[in-house]
Structure 1
Amino acid sequence: MLDAAMSELQEHGYAALTMQGIAATAGVGKQTIYRWWPSKADVVLDGLVELADERITVPDTGSLPGDLTEFLAATFRQRGQRPVLIGLMAEALLDPAFARAFRDRFLFARRAALRGILDRAAERGEIAAGTDPELLMDVVYGVLWYRLMLDHAPLDESAGRALTDLLVRAVS
């Protein structure tokens, strides 16, 4: 069913996505979808979490530049998910219960992955003592969300490399 939801989403966009459309694509009744998920946002969130877990691995190259480059390249490569992310962010702004689920299950999971990279780099002495990892994560995801929301500048592997270079210079 998650594959059906993501397929429908890519074809029609978040605004046009319906539980009926997901059910039809999955070959099940709409009630089957509602048995597992209370809303289309919840279906999409599960699909997005699964997709992120599959496509964005946490590298361990042995260096901060290597880890960040790989992690950000994989993260920014998902730019095609822009309609999904924008739709879920809009939903989160309108629905406080969904906002908590989106934050806890997706946003904080992505931050935890990046935090692991930063923690390993700090243990290797690649990050100056006193550097705030929360602020570093805000910088990374601030760039991501700002560019997703405004679509004013590229969000691609080149941007990921540039952001890596900036962060590595900032923390040394």
Structure 2
Amino acid sequence: MVDGTRRPGRPRSEAARLAILKATHDELLERGYGGLTMEGIAARAGVGKQTIYRWWRSKADVALDSLLNVASEGIPIPDEGGLEADLSAFLSRTFGMQESEGPVLKGLLAQSLLDPEFAEAFRDHFLAGRRAALRTVLNQAVARGEIPADADLGLLHDVVYGVLWYRLLFRTAPLDDEAARGIASLIAGSVRNRE
């Protein structure tokens, strides 16, 4: 369950939880968010549907936890020694996941527009987590003196993730290594020009 509270019943089996998250991710990749069902997750994970509902209230919640699990494992925080290199490495890994995870993100974003409770969970857990990862990259640059201490890091987050969401949703241009390098260069150049 996304908010961390436990529902009544038997304690969660870690093996069952991991099987459910993997099954959910596999189902998402195979069928997309629109084709995801609790029945399909349960069958693939080898658990009863009630087991899933005991821990997650909806398919959106279990899909979100599945995505969180993938994001936490798949995008390490780089330390290449400089802002532009760090950002380029971070964004290349982030953008590289969009080919497989992009349809999932779109489905969860659509769900968040329909379900205010889920929107809060999506914002507070997934979006905040990705912003925190980027904040670590930017804070490394602040500590090295590459970004002024009074810089608006929130605006830099918005520039990075604004490009990601715009390109992901509207397919105006690719999310690839060239885009990662371009954004990294743009951000590094903008903070250098402030000095």
Displacement over 6 Å in runs of 4+: none
Larger radius of gyration: 2
**Is 1:93 the equivalent of 2:118?**
no
The one-letter code matched in structure 2 to 1:136 is L
Per the alignment, residue 67 of structure 1 pairs with: 86
Per the alignment, residue 144 of structure 1 pairs with: 164
2:178 alignment partner, one of 158, 164, 170: 158
Counterparts of 1:9 and 1:129 in 2: how far apart (Å)? 41
1:5 alignment partner, one of 1, 9, 24: 24
Per the alignment, residue 114 of structure 1 pairs with: 134
Trace 1:10-49 onto structure 2 (pairs within 5 A): 10-49=29-68
Aligned residues: 172
TM-score (norm 2): 0.85
Give the superposition deviation at 1:158.
1.4
The one-letter code matched in structure 1 to 2:67 is L
Aligned residues with identical type, % of pairs: 58
Provide the aligned C-alpha RMSD in A.
Answer: 1.0
Deviation digits for residues 65-110 of structure 1, max 9, x if unmatched?
1211111011000112111000000111111111111111110111
Give the superposition deviation at 1:129.
5.0
Deviation digits for residues 2-39 of structure 1, max 9, x if unmatched?
11011111111101111011111111211111111110
More helix by share: 1
Give the superposition deviation at 1:131.
2.2
**Is 1:171 the equivalent of 2:191?**
yes
Gaps of 5+ in 1: none
